[in-house]
Amino acid sequence: MPATKVLASLGLLAATTNALDNGQGLTPQMGYSSWNDCASAVTEEHIKATASYMISSGLAAKGFTFVNVDEGWFIGRDAKTLDMIADPKFFPSGMAALGAWVHNLTVPGKGKVMRYGLYTSRGEQQCDTPEYRERCMHTPPNPTAPNPTSGWTCEGSHGYEKRDAAWLVKAGADYVKVDSCGGDQTHSVAFSDYAKWRDAFNASAIAAGRQESVFFSVCGWKQWYGPPDAAATSAQLPAGFGGGPSLGNSYRIHDDGGSWAALSGCTNTIAAIGQWSQPGGWADPDLLIGPSDAKNGQSDAQARTQLNLWSVFPAPLLISQNVLNWSRFALETYSNIEVLAINQDPVQPGAKGGSGYKVGKRLAGSDLALPCNASSSPQSCFNVWGRPLSDGKSFALAFVNNQGTNATASTVECTHECFVNLLSGAHPAANYIIRDLWLHEQVGTISCSTNPGHCDGWSASVPGGGGSRMFKVTAVAGQASVFTNAV
C-alpha cells in the first residue's frame, strides 16, 4: 500500500468509526505466535526453527505466514538513547537481523511472503513471568531487601509510544501485538493509549518510507471493545469511541483462552459483540492453542472445534503451540484447506446493525458451558453457528456439542428457524447440497419451498466433550441464489 494511503487513513480515522483503514487485515491474519508455546522463554533459535517448519510443512503455503515473537525479547532500554534492548542471550543476532532472516525465506510457489511480528505492552511493565523478570534490566525497588529481585518488573512502553513504534518499524516488524499489562484499565485511558499506538505505527511507516503500515494487534482482553450498551450515552464514552475496529486490525475481546472451557467463554463473548467485527478490524477470541499446548488445555476434537468456529466467525488463526514436536493429527488439523478457505472467504457487506458485514452468528443454542447439563440447560450444551459466503449461494455451518465426552455423541440440529435466522429474509433456493469439510464428501441435502419459504431442518450426530461438525451448504446449480434479496 502506498505511503500516501497510510497518511490518508489518519484523517479518515478521526471522522468515522469504521475499521482501521491501513490496508492490513482484509481477511483474518494467519500464522504462529510464540506465547502458548514458549511463554516468556522464546529464543531466536526457536523462532528460526519454527519459521522453517512452517514452510517445510506446507502451512506457510496455506496462508500461515506470520511468525510472531511474543513477550520475552524486550529486557530494557539503552540508558542514553532509551531505545528498546533485546535479550542478547536469547536473541544474539538482534531483532532487526532476525526480521531480515524471516523476510528472506522463500515459500515454494509463493515467494518471499513470510512476515515478522514483535510484542510490547502499553503499560509501564510487561505481563512477564518469574523467569523473564530475572533477565530484565530493572533496578529492584529495594536493593537491601532479603530478596532484592522481589518486585522486579520487565519495562513496558508507556510514555514511549512514538519512540517504540519507530524502533519496531525499523526492526522490520510487519505485525506488532501491544498487550495491556501494567496499564490503566479505565475504558477511556485504554482507548487513548491504543489510539496513540495506532497513529504512531502509521506515522512511523510513512517516515520509514514503507509501502505498508504495521498490522496492529490490540491485546486488551476486554469486552469494552464492543459497542456501548443501549443505556450508554455519548457523554459517557471517550472521544472517538468506535470499538476495537477503530483502534487495531484485530482486538482481543476476552481473557486468555488456555483451555476449551476458557475458549467456550471466548465464543460466548464473540456471540455478544462479534457483529462489530469487519475487514481491517477483527474481533480476536485468542490464539489457536492446538490439541497439546503447554497448558494441556484442549483435546484433539476440541482443537478442531476451535478451528471450525474461528473460521465461521471469522477470527485470527494464530497457531500457538510447539509445532516442532506436535502430532500428525495437529498438522492435519491446520492443513485442512476447505476449513481455512471458510476463514479466508471475504465477509460481505449488507447486514443490518453492527459493522454492516455478514459475519458469523450463533443460529441456535445459548452461551456454551463446560461442563454443561443437557437436562436442565440444553441450550448451553449445543450451538449452531453459520455465515454466508462470498459466492452468493453457499454458507458455512458449524455444529458444537459440549455435552458428555468425545466418546458419546448427540444429535445437533439446524431447524427451519435456524435457517430463517441465517437467511435473514432472503428467498431460499429449492435444494441445497451439504458437504462435510472434514470427511471431504457430500453427506446430505436440504429441500426448501420457495413459498412460503420453509426449509427442512438438518441434523447431524456430533461427538460430545467439545466436539463439532463443519459443513458447507450450497444451492444446487441453476437454482435461485440463497442470498437473493438478502439484507
pTM, entire model: 0.91
- Average pLDDT (239-253) is 79
399 falls within a domain:
yes
* 13 confidence band (pLDDT: 50, 70, 90): very low
88 versus 379: the higher-pLDDT residue is 88
* 388 confidence band (pLDDT: 50, 70, 90): very high
Distances (CA, A) of 329 to 286, 299, 323: 21, 11, 11
| 367 in the same domain as 240 | no
485 versus 391: the higher-pLDDT residue is 391
pLDDT for residue 59: 99
299 falls within a domain:
no
pLDDT for residue 390: 95
pLDDT for residue 234: 44
317 falls within a domain:
no
Domain boundary among 252, 285, 300: 252
Task: Look over the chain and give the mean of its residue pLDDT values, rounded to a whole number.
Answer: 87
- Average pLDDT (311-339) is 97
pLDDT for residue 347: 96
102 falls within a domain:
yes
Give residue-wise pLDDT tens across range 98-125: 999 999 999 999 999 999 999 999 999 9
335 versus 485: the higher-pLDDT residue is 335
Phi, psi dihedrals of residue 130, rounded to the nearest 5°: -55, -40
Report whether pLDDT(236) > 70.
Answer: no
Q: Which three cell numbers stand for residue 427?
A: 428467498
- Residue numbers of the domain that contains 192: 3-252
Q: At what angle do helices 300-312 and 260-273 cross, to 10 degrees?
A: 10
353 falls within a domain:
no
| 377 in the same domain as 245 | no
pLDDT for residue 16: 34
- Average pLDDT (434-461) is 88
> Do the beta carbons of residue 280 and residue 216 sit within 8 Å?
no
| 226 in the same domain as 78 | yes
Report whether pLDDT(9) > 80.
Answer: no
Q: What is the CATH number of the domain that holds 368?
A: 2.60.40.1180
Give the contacts of 334 (CB within 8 A, at least 6 positions apart): 59, 62, 64, 288, 307, 317, 319, 340
- Average pLDDT (7-35) is 71
Q: What is the CATH number of the domain that holds 94?
A: 3.20.20.70
pLDDT for residue 71: 98
Percentage above 90 pLDDT, the chain? 68
Phi, psi dihedrals of residue 35, rounded to the nearest 5°: -60, -60
- Average pLDDT (144-148) is 52
pLDDT for residue 177: 99
Domain boundary among 235, 252, 269: 252
pLDDT for residue 478: 61
Report whether pLDDT(203) > 60.
Answer: yes
The region of weakest confidence among 168-182, 270-284, 314-328 is 270-284
Q: How many domains does the chain contain in total?
A: 2
| 365 in the same domain as 244 | no
* 73 confidence band (pLDDT: 50, 70, 90): very high
pLDDT for residue 453: 67
210 versus 15: the higher-pLDDT residue is 210
The region of weakest confidence among 30-44, 149-163, 344-358, 397-411 is 149-163
Q: Which three cell numbers stand for residue 210?
A: 514503507
- Average pLDDT (143-160) is 72
89 falls within a domain:
yes
43 falls within a domain:
yes
221 falls within a domain:
yes
* 3 confidence band (pLDDT: 50, 70, 90): very low
Give residue-wise pLDDT tens across range 409-430: 999 999 988 988 887 767 788 8
Percentage above 70 pLDDT, the chain? 85
406 versus 173: the higher-pLDDT residue is 173
pLDDT for residue 66: 99
pLDDT for residue 12: 34
Domain boundary among 252, 279, 311: 252
| 375 in the same domain as 236 | no
pLDDT for residue 18: 64
pLDDT for residue 140: 55
* 160 confidence band (pLDDT: 50, 70, 90): very high
Say how far apart CA 337 and CA 357 lie, in whole Å: 24
Say how far apart CA 417 and CA 435 lie, in whole Å: 21
Say how far apart CA 99 and CA 47 lie, in whole Å: 10
Q: Does an H or E element contain 217, and which?
A: strand 215-218
Report whether pLDDT(36) > 50.
Answer: yes
pLDDT for residue 420: 80
